[in-house]
């Protein structure tokens, strides 16, 4: 809006001083924000449709202050010092749709003669000092759709008051001190789509506390003190987004989400979850991410029958010892599989997981890799098998991994590694395979950038020995990240004392080319005590 203080044209409604006004056809929009006002301007035109009184020093609204403003659609009084607003103060606002009262000091709402705002759609009461809401408070705002009550001092759900709001679609009660949700707390809110209850102290909930919420799609219970899984969600058959992270829940029961087939996201990290029912995550056809970390009592892989859209599955630090043979049939769209820190010994074939891009199996007890394990895993880009007990890999095991760029086999028991199919690697880690003596020719890995070998001499094929310099140049353990830049600087040594000033353009190109060169960083770097010739 182009607010201005100029005298309005002939016939235009007057602009109250010191406010700024904007004509809206025959109507007028008035901005009196941040003008140090201590009361509502008196000479407001009946043709006012928008009035902003925010960020002033208004501590009281005189009765009938707005009684002529039948056409007012939006009233902003946020950021003032209001402690109470009587029903009479808002008399006459028949057409009001948006009322903003946030950031005041409201301690109570009128109960006996509540506000009469029949067309109000949005009511902001957030950031006030309300410790309760009278049962009749919302009797005059029955058309309300959006209600903000967050950041107040409520200790209970205002159940009786909410009964007057059959059209409510979105509500936040976050950042209060609510400890319990009773049964039928929201029984009349059949149109509610979004309910935020995060950052309260909710410890317990009635098993029927969400009865009546037939349209609920988003439920946010994050940052509370829940000790039990909220079984009350069972009635929410439209639920799409559920959050209860940062609570105190120790178990997710069998068939936990049987009543929520529409679920797309479930956030429950930062809970001391030990047990997860095998059938807990069944029949969730729209779920695309499932993350479980540290649930030590999980012994069996969850039964994910009917959860066919899962793309990211993280199940780490549990007690898994085996994977279902039909894992990929159950999860055909799996893209990321992260199963580190379990006790998995044998791997199924990932044949039907054609979308699989990342597999994390580090810190398990895998002993062998068969030819079928990664057959047809043509999308696989990163495979982490480090810290296992792998002693044998079938010669064709990696044959079809055309997209693989990162392979980590650190700390296994390998004496040989089949290179067929690994031509695309940029990162290969074999450190800790003490029986692996073979030096792999760079020809196998034309795109290699970072390679870690068990012994320094195995890096000599990567020219590490050519750049080997007398003592004093190489004897510090260089971190692999340094290596690329050292080669750059080595090309144009920088000497503090001499003014070596090559042609700048040529120097720029050298810098760029040095970065593009895929010089291989091979560690451990050979040195005086790690010569290129094998000591054996």
Partner 1 sequence: QHKQLSGVTSGCQQGGCLTCSDYNGCLSCKPRFFMHLERIGMKQIGVCMTSCPPGFFGTRLPERNTCTKCRSECDSCFNKNFCTRCRAGFYLHLGKCLENCPDGLIRSDTQRECV
Partner 2 sequence: LESERPALRAVIKVTLIKEPTGKPIVLEGLFVGGSAGKAEGKLMQYHPLSLCNNSEDDPPESDFITIVKLERTVTSCLPLLDKARMALAKGAQAVIFDISDDDHAAAELPDTDSLPRPVVLVEAEDAEELMGLVNKNEEARVVIEVKMESKWPFD
Site residues (CB under 8 A) for partner 1? 34, 54-55, 76, 78-79, 100, 102-103, 121-122, 124, 126-127, 145-146, 150-151, 169-170, 172, 174-175, 191, 193-194, 196, 199, 215, 217-218, 223, 241
Structure-derived torsion over alpha carbons of residues 331, 333, 335, 339, reported in degrees to the nearest 10:
0
Structural tokens at position 534: 């094998």
Q: Is 469 exposed, middle or buried (0-12, 13-18, 19+ CB in 10 A)?
A: exposed
Pick between residue 501 and residue 533 the one whose CB is nearest to partner 2: 501
Q: How far is CA 528 from the centre of its chain?
A: 49
* 470/468 Cα distance (integer angstroms): 7
516 belongs to the binding site for partner 2 (CB under 8 A): no
Judged by CB under 8 A, the residue of 4, 62, 207, 476 near partner 2 is 476
Closest-CA residue to 255 (of 241, 234, 272): 234
Q: Is the peptide bond before 379 cis (omega within 30 degrees of 0)?
A: no
Nearest approach in angstroms of CB 260 to partner 2 is: 27
Buried b (16+ CB within 10 A) or exposed e, 324-342: eeebbebbeebbbbbbbbb
* 86/117 Cα distance (integer angstroms): 13
* 52/80 Cα distance (integer angstroms): 12
Nearest approach in angstroms of CB 102 to partner 1 is: 6
78 binds, among partner 1, partner 2, none (CB under 5 to 8 A by kind): partner 1
Closest-CA residue to 89 (of 73, 75, 104): 75
Pick between residue 102 and residue 260 the one whose CB is nearest to partner 1: 102
* 54/34 Cα distance (integer angstroms): 7
Pick between residue 124 and residue 429 the one whose CB is nearest to partner 1: 124
Nearest approach in angstroms of CB 496 to partner 2 is: 5
Nearest approach in angstroms of CB 98 to partner 1 is: 9
Buried b (16+ CB within 10 A) or exposed e, 506-527: eeeeeeeebeeeebbbbbbbbb
169 binds, among partner 1, partner 2, none (CB under 5 to 8 A by kind): partner 1
Tell me the β-bridge partners of 48.
28
Pick between residue 468 and residue 507 the one whose CB is nearest to partner 2: 507
508 binds, among partner 1, partner 2, none (CB under 5 to 8 A by kind): partner 2
* 127/283 Cα distance (integer angstroms): 40
Nearest approach in angstroms of CB 270 to partner 1 is: 15
Pick between residue 275 and residue 474 the one whose CB is nearest to partner 2: 474
Those residues with Cβ within 8 angstroms of residue 479's Cβ, 6 or more apart along the chain or in another chain: none
Nearest approach in angstroms of CB 170 to partner 1 is: 4
196 binds, among partner 1, partner 2, none (CB under 5 to 8 A by kind): partner 1
52 binds, among partner 1, partner 2, none (CB under 5 to 8 A by kind): none
Which residues, numbered 491-510, are part of the site for partner 2 (CB under 8 A)? 492, 494, 496, 500-502, 504, 507-508
The answer to whether the CB of 123 falls within 8 A of the CB of 169 is no
486 binds, among partner 2, partner 1, none (CB under 5 to 8 A by kind): partner 2
Nearest approach in angstroms of CB 84 to partner 1 is: 19
**Alpha-carbon Rg of the chain, whole angstroms?**
34
Looking at 115-123, 256-264, 338-346, 471-479, which segment touches partner 2 (CB under 8 A)?
Answer: 471-479
Nearest approach in angstroms of CB 172 to partner 1 is: 8
55 binds, among partner 1, partner 2, none (CB under 5 to 8 A by kind): partner 1
Pick between residue 13 and residue 526 the one whose CB is nearest to partner 2: 526
Helices and strands in the chain: count of H runs, count of E runs: 4, 27
476 binds, among partner 1, partner 2, none (CB under 5 to 8 A by kind): partner 2
263 binds, among partner 1, partner 2, none (CB under 5 to 8 A by kind): none
* 154/128 Cα distance (integer angstroms): 10
Q: Which residues bind partner 2 (CB under 8 A)?
A: 472-473, 475-476, 478, 481-482, 484-486, 488-489, 492, 494, 496, 500-502, 504, 507-508, 511-512, 515
């Amino acid at each position: 809006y182009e607010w201005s203080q100029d005298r309005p044209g002939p016939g235009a409604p007057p602009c109250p001083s010191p406010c700024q006004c904007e004509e809206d056809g025959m109507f007028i929009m008035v901005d009196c924000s941040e003008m140090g006002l201590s009361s509502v301007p008196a000479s407001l035109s009946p043709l006012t449709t928008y009035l902003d009184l925010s960020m002033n020093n208004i501590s009281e609204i005189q009765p009938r202050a707005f009684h002529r403003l039948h056409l007012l659609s939006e009233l902003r009084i946020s950021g003032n010092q209001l402690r109470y607003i009587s029903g009479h103060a808002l008399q006459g606002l028949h057409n009001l749709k948006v009322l903003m009262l946030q950031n005041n000091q409201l301690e109570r709402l009128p109960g006996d003669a509540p506000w009469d705002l029949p067309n109000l759609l949005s009511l902001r009461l957030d950031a006030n000092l309300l410790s309760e809401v009278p049962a009749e408070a919302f009797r005059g705002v029955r058309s309300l759709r959006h209600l903000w009550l967050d950041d107040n001092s409520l200790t209970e759900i205002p159940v009786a008051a909410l009964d007057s709001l059959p059209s409510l679609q979105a509500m936040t009660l976050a950042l209060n001190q609510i400890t319990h949700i009773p049964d039928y707390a929201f029984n009349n809110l059949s149109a509610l789509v979004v309910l935020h209850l995060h950052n309260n102290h909710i410890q317990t909930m009635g098993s029927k506390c969400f009865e009546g919420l037939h349209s609920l799609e988003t439920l946010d219970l994050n940052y509370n003190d829940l000790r039990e899984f909220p079984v009350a969600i069972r009635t929410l058959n439209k639920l799409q987004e559920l959050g209860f992270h940062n609570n105190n829940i120790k178990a997710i029961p069998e068939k936990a989400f049987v009543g929520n087939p529409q679920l797309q996201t479930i956030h429950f990290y930062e809970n001391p979850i030990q047990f997860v029912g095998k059938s807990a995550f069944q029949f969730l056809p729209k779920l695309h991410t499932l993350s479980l970390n540290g649930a030590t009592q999980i012994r069996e892989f969850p039964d994910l029958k009917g959860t066919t859209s899962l793309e990211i599955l993280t199940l780490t630090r549990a007690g898994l010892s085996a994977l279902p043979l039909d894992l990929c049939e159950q999860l055909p769209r799996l893209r990321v599989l992260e199963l580190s820190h379990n006790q998995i010994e044998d791997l199924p074939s990932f044949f039907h997981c054609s979308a699989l891009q990342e597999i994390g199996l580090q810190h398990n007890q895998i002993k062998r890799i068969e030819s079928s394990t990664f057959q047809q895993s043509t999308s696989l880009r990163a495979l982490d098998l480090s810290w296992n007990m792998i002693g044998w890999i079938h010669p064709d095991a990696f044959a079809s991994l055309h997209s693989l760029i990162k392979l980590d086999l650190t700390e296994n028991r390998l004496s040989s590694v089949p290179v067929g199919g690994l031509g695309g690697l940029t990162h290969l880690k074999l450190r800790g395979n003490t029986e692996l003596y073979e030096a792999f020719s760079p020809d196998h890995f034309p795109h290699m950038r970072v390679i870690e070998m068990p012994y320094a001499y195995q890096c000599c094929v990567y020219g590490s020995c050519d750049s080997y310099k007398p003592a004093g140049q190489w004897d510090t353990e260089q971190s692999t990240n340094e290596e690329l830049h050292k080669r750059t600087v080595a090309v144009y040594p920088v000497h503090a004392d001499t003014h070596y000033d090559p042609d700048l353009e040529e120097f720029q190109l050298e810098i760029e080319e040095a970065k593009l060169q895929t010089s291989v960083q091979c560690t451990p770097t050979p040195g005086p005590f790690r010569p290129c010739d094998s000591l054996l």
